[in-house]
Amino acid sequence: MNRYIVKLIARRIGAGVLTLLIVSALVFLITSLLPGDAAQMILGQSATPETVAALRQQLGLDQPLVMRYFSWLGGMLQGDFGTSFASNLPVTQLVAQRIPATFQLAAVTTLVSVPLALVIGIAAAMKRGSRLDRGLVLVTMSVVAVPEFLVATIAVIIFAVKLQWVPAMSIGSPDQELWGFLRTYALPVLTLCCVIVAQMARMTRAAIINQMDSPYLEMTLLKGVSPLRAMLRHALPNAVGPIANAVSLSLSYLFGGVIIIESIFSYPGLASQMVDAVSNRDLPVVQLCVMFFAACYLVLLLAADILTIAFNPKWRG
């Protein structure tokens, strides 16, 4: 059985690698179809056609699309992600400067959102059909329906402009004190948590209710075990797989939806760098940022699959 689990995990990893390969082809194709000419944008409108042609040849933009893709893919597999068109610096150097800020924002949001979502989801499941349950379901569904940019705008107007409790721009320094750290991350984390907590809480509630409706849990309750103990000892462990999938799918939003949040709050992360690179036609930076976000997304899904396999009742013993 252990050998079967190893094969299953290896199959998941292989599917992830294949997905990354497909994503790389799509990313390269889409970035190549962006309007405008990278060489013309670098040199400016006053550049002569000869100078533009020479720069296109230097950057390899005059080669066929397929040849450019395989050349880029080969370099990427060797750890060479190319040179930035805008700054003429290695892309890895530019991206590495922004990754810690993005991970820090994701980590703070995770530490706040995951426990809160689990508590809300479990409480709603335990009080199914009550006013508390209906209220929590109504609030979570309402929050999910609101776009994150609207939540961010409202948060800025209320907490930054009217009340002046926190700054509207989340630009912090590495040596800032705890209070300054909390004020810097308050609005971005609040905005991200609104969507993530709502999604995770609804999926957690559904997973717990599904287990509580199962025959084995009904038998446990008939034996006199309290509902709370039955939920913690029996329902919750069997729901770890679905809950892990819910958490992973919700947290994967941090590496995609964070683009809007970083842009609104001028947060110096990887997503805002990707937006600037798209505006400047800095294709190597855009390609690496998208591949990085895709890899993080697939890692989260792989972690959810592994947890699902590890906590599957059929394979636990």
- On the 0-12 / 13-18 / 19+ scale of CB atoms within 10 A, 310 is middle
Sign of torsion, CA 137 138 140 144?
positive
Residue-wise pLDDT tens digits, 158-215: 888 888 888 777 665 555 677 777 777 888 888 888 878 888 888 888 888 888 888 8
How many CB atoms are closer than 10 A to CB 171?
11
Average pLDDT on 20-32 reads 88
The pLDDT mean for the chain works out to 81
Average pLDDT on 245-249 reads 78
Given a cut of 80, whether residue 294 has pLDDT beyond it is yes
Where do the structural domains in the chain lie, given as residue ranges? 2-35+81-316
* pLDDT computed for residue 22 by the predictor: 92
For 240, half-sphere exposure in the C-beta direction (CA atoms, 13 angstrom radius) is: 16
DSSP 187-198: HHHHHHHHHHHH
Let me know: does 308 contact 315? Beta carbons within 8 Å: no
What pTM did the predictor assign?
0.78
Residue-wise pLDDT tens digits, 52-80: 788 777 777 778 888 888 888 888 888 88
2-35+81-316: what fold? MetI-like fold (1.10.3720)
| d(C-alpha 202, C-alpha 243), whole Å | 10
Average pLDDT on 95-107 reads 86
* pLDDT computed for residue 315 by the predictor: 59
Residue-wise pLDDT tens digits, 81-91: 888 877 888 88
Find the farthest-apart pair of alpha carbons in the chain and give their distance in angstroms, rounded: 86
Residue-wise pLDDT tens digits, 141-162: 888 778 878 888 888 888 888 8
φ and ψ of 93, to 5 deg: -65, -40
Given a cut of 80, whether residue 49 has pLDDT beyond it is no
* pLDDT computed for residue 316 by the predictor: 52
| d(C-alpha 79, C-alpha 95), whole Å | 13
Residue-wise pLDDT tens digits, 102-119: 888 888 888 998 899 888
Given a cut of 60, whether residue 1 has pLDDT beyond it is no
Give the residues across from 83 on adjacent strands.
Answer: 90
Give the residues across from 90 on adjacent strands.
Answer: 83
